[in-house]
Structure formats: structure tokens, C-alpha cells
Structure 1
Amino acid sequence: MAAISMPLAARAEYTLHQLAKRDNWAEREPGVIVVFVIVFLVAVLVIALFINKKRSQAKGVGA
């Protein structure tokens, strides 16, 4: 009896084939990537402003 059954080996080969044939989604959709980057940068900016405001209030500088 073989150590690896044929259906298991065939399934693994099919899975590797599916993974190998995938193309680059980000290359096909550059606009979506740009939107993700812009949203991320705006979120970082808002969080930084919020943290800066809290730090200045803790120091007693803000109103």
C-alpha cells in the first residue's frame, strides 16, 4: 500500500495549481488600492490630531 493515497495527492496538486494560477488583483485594480491608501492616511491623520489634542489638554495649554 502506498504511503500517500492518490486522491490526497491529486487534491494537493489541484490546490497548488489553483494557487499558482492566481493573478495579481492589486495590479488589475489600482484605483481601489489608491482609495485604501487615502483612507488609511486620513485615519492616521485624524488619530494623530486626536492624540495631540488630548496631550495638549493634559498639559493645560488647550482651552
Structure 2
Amino acid sequence: MATIQIREATQQLVKRQNWAAREPGVIVVFAIVFIVASGLIGLQVSRWISRYKEKQAAKHSTV
């Protein structure tokens, strides 16, 4: 019985079409959103690092 269920499940998986191939526009939008989000996160991290370095430089220059 279990092998029949596994075989049916496997056949259902094989029959499925590639969703990404049918909807290329959505994938492009996901890629653009990912690139923009990565850029914004990188910009924010860069700002945090530069502020930290400025604070460290100010702390060491007054001593």
C-alpha cells in the first residue's frame, strides 16, 4: 500500500510544470526587489560603520 502512495506522489511531482518558467515576469520582479533591498541594507550598514569609525576617531583624538 505504501509503495502505491509513494508512486502516486512521485507521478504528481513529475507532472507539475515549472512555475518559474511559466511566470518569468514575477521572477524578474523578485530579482529587482532583492537587488534593491540588498543595496539599501548595504547602504545602511555602511552608514553604521562610518558612524562607528567617526565615534572611535573622536574618542581617540581627544585623549
TM-score under structure 2 length normalisation = 0.80
Which of the residues 2, 25, 29 maps onto 1:8?
2
Cα distance in 2 for partners of 1:10, 1:58 equals: 62
Shift of 1:49: 0.3
RMSD: 1.3
Percent sequence identity over aligned pairs: 45
Q: Counterparts in 2 of 1:42-61, with a 5 A limit? A: 42-60=36-54
Q: Counterparts in 2 of 1:18-57, with a 5 A limit? A: 18-57=12-51
Cα distance in 2 for partners of 1:9, 1:46 equals: 50
Shift of 1:50: 0.3
**Alpha-carbon displacement from aligned partner over 1:27-48 (angstroms, at most 9, x marks no partner):** 0000000010011001100110
- 5+ residue gaps in structure 2? 56-63
Structure with the larger helix share = 2
Query: Number of paired residues?
Result: 55
TM-score under structure 1 length normalisation = 0.80
- Which 4+ stretches in 1 moved above 2 angstroms? none
